[in-house]
Chains A and B, each alone.
Chain A
Amino acid sequence: MALTHLNARGEAHMVDVGDKPESQREASASGVILMQPATLALLADGGLPKGDVLATARIAGIQAAKRTHELIPLCHSLALSKVTVDFHLDSARSSVEVTATCRLNGRTGVEMEALTAVSIACLTLYDMCKAVDKSMEIGEIRLNSKTGGKSGDYQRLVTGTPIVTGECAAGEVSLGPRCDTESPCIRVKCLAELRERLGVGELSVPLASLARADVAGLKKVLKERDPRFARLDEGRVMCAVNQVMAADATPITDEDEVAFFPPVTGG
Chain B
Amino acid sequence: MIRVQEAPFDSGAEQQAMLAGRKSIGAVVSFTGLVRDFNERPEVQALTLEHYPGMTESALADIVEQAESRWSLDGVSVIHRIGRLAPGDPIVLVVVASAHRRAAFEACEFIMDYLKTRAPFWKKEHASDGDYWVAERESDYRDAHRWGT
Contact = CB atoms under 8 A, between A and B. Distances in A.
**A and B: partners?**
yes
Interface of A: 157-158, 162-163, 165, 189, 191-193, 196, 236, 240, 243-244, 259, 261-267
A163 B50 CA distance: 15
Interface in B85-143: 91-92, 112, 115-124, 126, 129-137
A267 B115 contact: yes
B58 A266 contact: no
A192 B33 contact: no
Nearest to B121: A266
Contacts of A192: 50, 122, 124, 133
Contacts of A163: 124, 131-133
A200 to B, nearest CB: 15
Among all A-B residue pairs, the 6 with the closest Cβ atoms: A266-B121, A192-B122, A243-B55, A263-B136, A193-B133, A267-B116
A153 to B, nearest CB: 13
A191 B52 CA distance: 8
Contacts of B129: 157
B79 to A, nearest CB: 12
A121 B103 CA distance: 57
Contact of A191 (B41, B122, B135): B122
Contact of A266 (B41, B119, B130, B131): B119
A264 B92 CA distance: 15
5 contacts: A158-B41, A165-B131, A240-B120, A263-B117, A265-B136
B52 A259 contact: yes
Given A193-B133, A259-B55, A264 B33 contact: no
Interface in B36-64: 40-41, 49-52, 54-55, 58
- Tell me the interface secondary structure of chain A in the complex: loop
A263 B133 CA distance: 11
A165 B133 CA distance: 10
Given A157-B129, A163-B131, A267 B33 contact: yes
Contacts of B124: 163, 165, 192-193
A178 to B, nearest CB: 22
Contact of B130 (A162, A259, A265, A267): A162
Contact of A267 (B50, B58, B92): B92
Contact of A261 (B41, B91, B120, B132): B120
Given A157-B129, A192-B122, A243-B55, A264 B50 contact: no
A262 B92 contact: no
Nearest to A166: B131
Contacts of A261: 52, 120, 122
A264 B122 contact: yes
Contacts of B134: 265
A262 B123 CA distance: 11
A265 B123 contact: yes
Contacts of A265: 116, 121-123, 133-137
Given A165-B124, A267-B116, A267-B121, 15 more contacts: A157-B132, A162-B132, A192-B122, A193-B122, A240-B52, A243-B54, A261-B122, A264-B120, A265-B123, A265-B136, A266-B91, A266-B92, A266-B120, A266-B121, A266-B123
B35 to A, nearest CB: 11
A240 B41 contact: no
A264 B55 contact: no
A189 B117 CA distance: 20
Contacts of B135: 158, 265
Contact of B41 (A157, A189, A196): A157
A157 B51 CA distance: 26
